[in-house]
Amino acid sequence: MMDFFRKSEGVWFTQRTVHHFDAVTDESGESKLHVGVVSPDDQRIHTICEAQAIDPVTAKGGASFMWQAHDDMGQPNPEQAAILVDVPDDPTGLSGKLLRNQGYIEKIPVICRYWFGQDGILTIDTEYGQNQGQERCWFLTDDFRVRVSTVRTLNGVYLMTYCSERRLVSEQDLAQMVKNNLARAF
């Protein structure tokens, strides 16, 4: 999981399609996702582990996820970040628990179950009081990934989401790419 977090680190442009099965609301759109790796000795890791009665020593680290409107050019609010803590439960690190300070469906602390399939696809299952969520995520390239998710209630599937995400290139990276391309031309 920590390798997945490291590969995900950076800012992503997200195009999202949402299908609600019982409403006419449309949450489809574009946003930015800021992902940062959190070290195992970060106080946020200890706080989240202790709140879930998990020994912080078992945590391998985590990641911070901040969402922002695509056209918002300011800095995202780190106080609104969801923090995920990796607590693997097998020696390969391919499955375990993700502790979250706040859930995606319900804004409460939650423990998710994750595993990586043989195809490399990450699956995360989350159980809330009345809802269940499942998210699957995989990289098509180092700079393009896909996420799909479903939310189920006691009455059945409530919504499905498809996201395509491409890594945003910083101004510095873009300038270096131009410089490299110009050097190859001569």
- Which pLDDT score is estimated for 97? 96
Compute the chain's Rg from CA coordinates.
Answer: 18
Residues 129, 112 contacting (CB under 8 angstroms): no
pLDDT at residue 107 above 70? no
Inter-residue contact 80 to 65 (CB < 8 Å): no
- For residue range 22-32, what is the model confidence (pLDDT) as tens digits? 766 667 888 89
Q: Where on the phi/psi map is residue 43: left (φ > 0), alpha (ψ -120 to 50), or beta? A: alpha
Looking at 7-21, 37-51, 76-90, which range is the least confident one? Answer: 76-90
pLDDT digits over 118-131, tens only? 999 999 999 887 78
Provide the residue ranges of all domains of the chain, joining segments of one domain with +: 2-185
Please tell me the distance from the alpha carbon of residue 148 to that of residue 180, in angstroms, as a whole number. 36
What class is the 2-185 domain?
mainly beta
Predicted structure pTM score: 0.85
Contact 121, 136 (CB under 8 A): yes
Of 137, 145, 97, 98, which Cα lies nearest the Cα of 121?
137
* Exposure string for 77-116, b = 16+ CB within 10 A, e = fewer: eeeebebbbbbbeeeeebebbbbbbebbbeeeebbbebeb
Q: What is the pLDDT of residue 70?
A: 75
Q: Which amino acid, 59?
A: A
List the structure tokens of 103: 């859930």
